Structure 1
Amino acid sequence: MDAKLLLKRAFKGWVGSAWQYSPAGRARLTTAGVVLMLHRVLADDQAANTPHRGPLCVGQQSFEMLLIWLRRHFDCVPLQQLLEQPGGQRPRVALTFDDGWRDNAEYAYPLLERHGVPASIFLSTDFIGSPQGFWWESIGETLWQHAADPASQPLRERLRSHGVRVPDALLQAGSSAVRSRALGALLQRLKTLPAVTLQALADACPATGAPHSLDWAQVRQLESSGLVSFGPHGASHGILTQFSAEQLAADLRRSHEALQRHCQAPLPIYCYPNGDHNAEVRAAVANLGYRHALATQPGLIDASQNPLALPRIDVSQATAQATSLLAWRLFKGARA
């Protein structure tokens, strides 16, 4: 990391920490709740530190340090409790995880249990209990491990048919930051493709063995702990604003019914895939009985927000490792 970036991070961390401990920061944080957005906890911090994984992954060691920091400075409460009463004598925080990664049962849950921190997991329900992998991981790992190998040729050909070129940097051997950044940029480009296209691309990847997602037995086991609650994150994980009215209704209904069927107490809270929503999507979610919905724009939770477009603060590997950077994110969220 170059000196300029280090200096920039140090400045952000100083500003964030100074605000958090200031009278103004403490007052703001005791009147507005914080909802954190995570995705996947990995066993290995080194793997989470790569540029293409860092925004969505947190290493297990960093995750535990994050939990310790949160317990020191916040009351860690269930999401539904926080949304109903954001403020308190101490700042309040709720943890959310998107997608339903199997890793979170193996690496996140034991730490949640150890530190007594509740969490909510929002499931992409078509993938739960399915051998189909999440497209992001299937495509990403195929290109990261086999970009120049015959094993990735079917995927590369399908990408070309959709006008997507694999960058030359990614076709090189090794695990350099340059390769990782090229892969991260490519995956971000793919997010705008239709869900059916992304799944076809994932299906062109070689099998990796263990499934990426939780299965329903794991969901029931985690829910029975009393520490983890579950809500819907769409069925297909497609961008809801790209669907026709009929497709939107079908996707929302499918995810809703899956949670009702498999969970004892599913959350009355929706979580938009990729955070995308509009008036039509919000109305369709409300028609299914959801009183709150989570997006991805940064901010704190208070009475001024639309309950069907609530903000969250995202947690990356960098912010989990350096909680002063998370304090900076809170500072920015308070000003949003």
Structure 2
Amino acid sequence: MKQAIHFGIERAKSAGHWLKRKMEPRGAVLLYHRVANESFDPQLLCVSPGNFASHLEKLRKWARPIRLKDMTADIGRGRLPRKAVALTFDDGYADNLAHAKPLLMKYDMPATFFVTAGYIGRDREFWWDELERLLLGPNTLPQTLSLRVGGENLRWDLGKSARYGHGAFRRRRAWHVLEKKDPTPRHAAYRFLQPRLLRLPDPDIQKILRRLRKIAQTGPSARPSHRCLTAEETIQLKADGAFEVGSHTLSHPFLSSLEDAAQREEIQGAKLRLEAILNHPVSSFSYPYGSPSSYTSQTVSRVKESGLARACANIQAPVSPGVDIFRLPRMIVRNWDGDEFAGRLKSFLR
């Protein structure tokens, strides 16, 4: 009898917790990277301007768009508005200013742009874009591609794909990393290298890219379509009360792979550099890559010590009262049309 009563009490408690979770207001922090029409997007970072406009139209009709700092203030007060949505952009691509900001202004939507401070004004692409250009773009590589990565000697037999012309590139430009098969050995090499490079220190990544550039007989200049913001463009991005520029470190490292002093420099150094450019305090941060393994509790401590007030991760979950504002989960957005975007967001917030 006592066991039955105890079981009944526990079931009632469990039901109560479930009901409380269902009744709690839920919001979302949306994660974008680029707003651009790119025919080849292996990392699925781009949302076309047309689809982005459709997303904003759906948000205006269905959700409650708010600034990220207002969302975290509401979380702190324990009264997050229902359907609250904050828009964020990671990395600091120039198309954030050219394409995203005009549409955000048209639809009266606030947003936070997390900028990789060390790339501002530099004529070089992010390493993942350059890796894509060198391995998957039209060029000629040796039949056997040899690279040393993380102390390991690696080799790929490229076969016929060693000579990779514009026709071959166009035929395979729909490929992306979520595809199960690799159409050529080049794609297999890219798929193998990308997750390994992201854990390396930036000097090691740049050494590998220099080796690839030498093999491909090409230079490091950024494609206009893939370049990062300049200092002046970063200022223009912020030049409106609805828009915030946040920090995304100096070099976009896998922070958990760095020693404590290097983490501190990446976090504090980026904040100071952005503040010098903007002549304005920087209070928001986004962890590069943002997966649970990409940062540690020590990283979070360094973010707090730097005077930052909130930090976004790349953990797929809604926000609700009680969430850790230094580990804010987000919903990554792909190049969906408006209806698919709205359906996914509504399901996400259930």
TM-score normalised by structure 2 residue count: 0.75
Match of 2:29 in 1: 35
Given that residues 268 and 289 in structure 1 are in contact (C-alpha distance below 8 angstroms), is that contact kept between their aligned partners in structure 2?
Answer: yes
Q: Whose helix fraction is larger, Structure 1's or Structure 2's?
A: 1
In structure 1, give the amino acid aligned to 2:34.
R
Structure-1 residue corresponding to 2:172: 176
Matched letter for residue 42 of structure 1: A
Identity of paired residues, percent? Answer: 23
1:230–1:266 CA contact under 8 A, matched in 2: no
**In the alignment, structure 1 residue 314 sits paired with structure 2 residue 332:** yes
User: 1:144: how far off?
Assistant: 2.1
Structure 2, unpaired ranges of 5+:
1-19, 214-218
1:195 maps to what in 2? 202
Corresponding position of 1:230: 245
Matching residue of 1:219: 234
> Paired residue for 1:57?
46
Tell me how far apart the structure 2 counterparts of residues 123 and 112 of structure 1 sit (CA, whole Å): 17
Say whether 1:279 aligns with 2:322: no
CA distance in 2, matches of 1:257, 1:227: 22
Counterpart of 1:141 (choices 133, 140, 158) is: 133
1: CA distance, partners of 2:146 / 2:205: 14
Q: Counterpart of 1:103?
A: 95
Question: Is residue 2:338 matched to residue 1:323?
Answer: no
Q: Are the structure 2 counterparts of residues 282 and 61 from structure 1 closer, same or farther at C-alpha, using a change threshold of 3 Å?
A: same
What is the RMSD of the two structures over their aligned residues, measured on CA atoms?
3.1
Residue 81 (str. 1) matches residue 70 (str. 2): yes
> Do 2:29 and 2:331's aligned partners in 1 also have CA atoms closer than 8 Å?
yes
CA change 1:329–1:314 in 2 (3 A) is farther
Q: Deviations over 1:286-335 (max 9, x none)?
A: 1111221111111122232222111111111247672255236614xx6x
**Structure-2 residue corresponding to 1:117:** 109
Alpha carbons of 1:320 and 1:201: their partners in 2 closer, same or farther (altered >3 Å)? farther
The aligned length equals 299
Equivalent residue, structure 1, for 2:3: none
TM-superposed deviation, 1:193: 2.7
Task: Pick which of 60-69 and 197-206 moved more.
Answer: 197-206
Contact 2:71/2:80, CA 8 A, preserved across alignment: no
TM-score after normalising by structure 1: 0.78
* 2:60 alignment counterpart: 71
Amino acid at match of 1:317: N
Of the two, which has the highest radius of gyration? Answer: 2
Please identify which structure carries the higher strand content: 2
1:201-212 equivalences under 5 Å are: 201-203=208-210, 204-205=212-213, 206=219, 207-210=221-224, 212=227
Pair 1:298–1:240, CA change in 2 (3 A): same
Is residue 28–residue 319 contact of structure 2 (8 Å, CA) maintained in 1? Answer: yes
Unaligned runs of 5+ in 1: 1-23
Question: In the alignment, which residue of structure 2 is the partner of 1:185?
Answer: 191
| AA aligned opposite 1:308 | F
